[in-house]
Amino acid sequence: MRAFPRLPLTAAALATLLIAATAPAHTATAPSGPHRWTAGWATAVQRPSQSWYATWAEAGFDDQTVRQTVRVGADGSHLRVRLSHAFGTTPLHLTGATVGISAGGAAVRPGSVRALTFGGSVSPSIRPGDRPASDPVRLPVKAGDRLAITLFFKAPSGPATFHNVAMETAYRADGDHRADVSADAFTQESSSWYFLEGVDVAGKPAGGRRDAVVAFGDSLTDGAASTPGADKRYPDQLSRRLSAEGRQRPVLNAGIGGNRVLSDSACFGEKATTRFRHDVLDQIRVGTVIVLEGTNDILMGETAANPCTTPNRRVTAAELIEGHRALIRAARARGITVIGATLPPGKGLESGTPAETRAALNQWIRTSGAYDAVVDFDRILADPLNPEQLLPAYASGDGLHPNDAGYRAMADAVDLDSL
C-alpha cells in the first residue's frame, strides 16, 4: 500500500458529497422482466497511468484482443457485463466482446462462449465518461465461478480506463480472438483489468433484500502482496467464509492501491470522498460497506512529491475524521450499514507524527460510535510484542501489507451479524 497527501475537506465539498449521495444512481439501473439483478463482481476504475508497474493502459489496444478473468460472488441464470470509459477523452469503438466460463489461464470452457451486445449492437461506440452495461445473456453461474471476458478492438482504443492492481492476469492477442476457447493466441500478459468494471447476475425472482457488501479502501482491500490469481484478498476470503456458513452474499472489492480519503492522485484514483458515490452507492442492492482508508493520506504527507503523490501535504487526524464522517453520512443517506475498520500497523507508521495520527484515527473509529460497527484490523494484525509492526505470521515482507494468512485473519475478524 502507498501513502498520499491530503487536501482539507471543506464544508462545500461535504455538501457536494452529500448531494451526490442522495441523487439517483446512474449505473445501478433496475432490471426489467421477472428477474432482479445483483452485483456479482466489481472493481474500482482509475485513469490511465503507470503507477505500480507497467501496464497497457496508456497505450491502449490496436487490432488486439484482451481477455480478462473475474470471480463472481452470486448465483444466477443470466448476467451482464459493465464496461467503463470513465476517463476516456474520445469515443471508444469496441469491435466485439464475449463472455464465457474460464477454463484456467486464457482458456475458456467449450460451449460457454456468449457474444455480448450493448443496446442491441455488437460493435458499440462508447462516449467518453460512459459506463455501459451489456444486454443480458443466458449463462448459468454459481458463486465462485470464474468468467473470461474478452474484448476486441480493431481500431486504436486510445488510453484505457483500468484497474491497476488486479492481482489477476489479463491476456492479450494480436488480431480478433474473441471467440477462441484456446489460450494459444494469448501470448502477452498484464496484471491489470482494462475497460472492465462489473458483472451483474440475475437468477430466480427475488425480493428487495440488499445483500451485497462493498469492501472500500486502498491496497489493503485491493489485496496487494496476496497470491496472484488465487483470490486471497480479504474480500474474497470474506465471501468464501459467508458461503461456508450458509450466508452467501456478494462481496465487492472497491479497493484501489495507494488511494486516499482526502486527495486525488494521477495514479491512485480519485479521493474516497469523490469515488464513494459510484464505487459504493451506485452498486446494485448494496446493504453494507466496510471502510478501510487513511493509511496513504498519512504516509504520503511524509514522502517527497512526485506526479503520483502530489499533493502531499501532511494530514491531521481531525481532517481524516471529517472525511470518514462524510462517507458515513453518504452511506446512511442511502440506508446502507457502514462499518469502520481500524488502520493496521506498517512501515512508515511506527513513530512520530504518522504513528500519532494513525493512533488518533483508530481511537476515534473504535470509540466514537460514529460507525454502525467496527472491525479492529489493527489489533488483529499487530504483533503483541511489537504493536507498531505486523505479526510475522501475517506479514508479506514489505513491512506494510499482509500475506494470504493475514488477509484471512482480516476476513475472519468481520462479525457476520454486523453485515
Could you give the angle at the alpha carbon of 279 between the alpha carbons of 276 and 281, nearest 5°? 70
Ordered per-residue pLDDT tens for the chain, 419 residues = 333 333 333 433 333 333 233 333 333 333 445 568 999 999 999 999 987 778 999 999 999 999 999 999 999 999 999 999 999 999 999 999 999 999 999 999 999 999 999 999 999 999 999 999 999 999 999 999 999 999 999 999 999 999 999 999 999 999 999 999 999 999 999 999 999 999 999 975 544 577 899 999 999 999 999 999 999 999 999 999 999 999 999 999 999 999 999 999 999 999 999 999 999 999 999 999 999 999 999 999 998 889 999 999 999 999 999 999 999 999 999 999 999 999 999 999 999 999 999 999 999 999 999 999 999 999 999 999 999 999 999 999 999 999 999 999 999 999 999 99
**What is residue 330's three-state secondary structure?**
helix
Could you give the angle at the alpha carbon of 416 between the alpha carbons of 414 and 419, nearest 5°? 95
Q: Which residues make Cβ contacts (< 8 Å) with residue 291, sequence separation at least 6? A: 216, 217, 272, 324, 327, 338, 339, 340, 341, 371
- 407 to 250, 268, 294, 340: CA distances (angstroms): 17, 21, 18, 17
Q: The cell 448476467 sits on which residue?
A: 79
119 burial type by CB count under 10 A (0-12 exposed, 13-18 middle, 19+ buried): exposed
CA atoms of 418 and 413, how far apart (whole Å): 11
Residue 147 in grid coordinates: 468468467
- 188 to 65, 66, 174: CA distances (angstroms): 10, 9, 9
Q: Please report, as a single letter, which amino acid is at residue 47.
A: R
**What is residue 91's three-state secondary structure?**
coil
Q: Which backbone phi and psi does 114 adopt, to 5 degrees? A: -125, 135
pLDDT at residue 33, as a whole number: 52
- 68 to 44, 144, 170, 178: CA distances (angstroms): 15, 16, 5, 11
Q: Which residues make Cβ contacts (< 8 Å) with residue 327, sequence separation at least 6? A: 216, 261, 272, 273, 276, 291, 293, 338
Q: How do 212-217 and 251-255 pair as beta strands? A: parallel
Q: Which fold has domain 11-26+207-418?
A: Rossmann fold (3.40.50)
pLDDT at residue 21, as a whole number: 37
pLDDT at residue 135, as a whole number: 97
Q: Please report, as a single letter, which amino acid is at residue 20.
A: A
Q: Are 212 and 191 in contact (CB under 8 A)?
A: no
Return the domain boundaries, the chain: 11-26+207-418, 37-200
Rg (CA), the chain: 20
pLDDT at residue 252, as a whole number: 98
Q: How do 114-115 and 76-83 pair as beta strands? A: unpaired
| Beta-strand runs (E) in 297-410 | 337-341, 373-375, 382-383, 386-390
Q: How far is CA 55 from the centre of its chain?
A: 17
Q: Which residues make Cβ contacts (< 8 Å) with residue 321, sequence separation at least 6? A: 361, 364
Task: Provide DSSP, 16-53.
Answer: HHHHHHHSPPSS-PPPPTT--EEEEEE---B-S--SSS
Helices 11-22 and 317-333: crossing angle in degrees, nearest 10, is: 20
Which pTM value belongs to this model?
Answer: 0.91
User: Is-cis flag, bond preceding 5, omega within 30?
Assistant: no
